[in-house]
Structure 1
């Protein structure tokens, strides 16, 4: 547990090396430009806000189903029908996602929680997963003001010089960050303001796992 307000939990080894390799192959032919969600408009595009490639994974694949089940079990055995389709996101050099919320005011079925799982941080697509090293690409919570012990520096960039402030989680393949987007009364938590910082070397691949409060229609 990294933070209790907002709830931020860091999970080591959320994905196995075999799952990582499988997901990279599964996503490769599916990448498209990543959209930006602005209120109820879910497919606008603005590279100034978000520049990356996304691959939406359907739930019929057995490995995807396994990861989905793991993700709802972690949250107290919610039905898988509350999950959006898993989304693998690939960031190349200079790609980023500016600070944003995963929740939207007035949403009738809000996103109650988010996982961001690191799949790869390596030199390029030609390397075996984990080969080489990427630089940059931290997941940053700019408004975080709490203190943390030095042992967290294995997961956090304790020498972050981006000037953004807050706390920056390193992209370590296999590990995940989980956070709750809402207060108990259902309103959005401002402390979940977060960003995907620009990649300065190599590529970063991650996965969004987003949970809705109610069952999704058609799932």
Structure 2
């Protein structure tokens, strides 16, 4: 991705509009769905989810965090999609780490806690095993995290509250893959 393609990342405001927000200070670029590599990634993400309809997948988004940039606690799902004139909501999220040159710049889930003492310690390469009150997925190049944003009834799962932690001492580049589903 060329530098000019990155733009200030946006968030959804309380009125449902896309805005530049102090909570999200990263930069974003979208990948062309015509690119064969992008098509392969989309197909793999669809396959992972049981062959979901590619038409329900948003354009792939590359997000770059430079020194100190972050995205504070947020949900990937909309509390009221109808407010944005939408009949769909983000059902799932993949966040893949493409490049990392920062420390403690992972993705934190403050509503999820895991007692890692009883788990295989190899997990500690990918998660902060010392965090007891929250789940923090480490930024490890080549790794990815996946979660479901919506419950089976189509409402948002509040446990998916998460934050892209500040890039300290460098940068982080990740790939967002969002799949939507119809909601009533």
Q: TM-score, normalised by structure 2?
A: 0.88
Structure 2 residue aligned with 1:30: 5
1:57 is aligned, of 31, 44, 53, to 31
Give the match's secondary structure for 1:68: helix
User: Shift of the alpha carbon at 1:174?
Assistant: 1.1
Structure 2 residue aligned with 1:138: 106
Number of equivalent positions: 174
Q: TM-score, normalised by structure 1?
A: 0.75
Q: 1:197, 1:175 → 2: CA distance?
A: 16
Structure 2 residue aligned with 1:41: 16
Counterpart contact for 1:35–1:42, Cα < 8 Å: no
What are structure 2's unaligned runs of at least 5 residues? 82-86
User: Shift of the alpha carbon at 1:29?
Assistant: 3.4
2:44 is aligned, of 66, 70, 87, to 70
Instruction: State the superposition RMSD in angstroms.
Output: 1.7
Matched, 1:106 2:80: yes
1:116 is aligned, of 77, 95, 98, to 95
What are structure 1's unaligned runs of at least 5 residues? 1-25, 123-133, 215-219
* Mapping 1:166-181, distance limit 5 Å: 166-181=134-149
Counterpart contact for 1:90–1:206, Cα < 8 Å: yes
Q: 1:152, 1:190 → 2: CA distance?
A: 24
Q: 1:135, 1:188 → 2: CA distance?
A: 30
Structure 2 residue aligned with 1:80: 54
Matched, 1:192 2:160: yes
User: Shift of the alpha carbon at 1:186?
Assistant: 1.0
Give the match's secondary structure for 2:88: coil
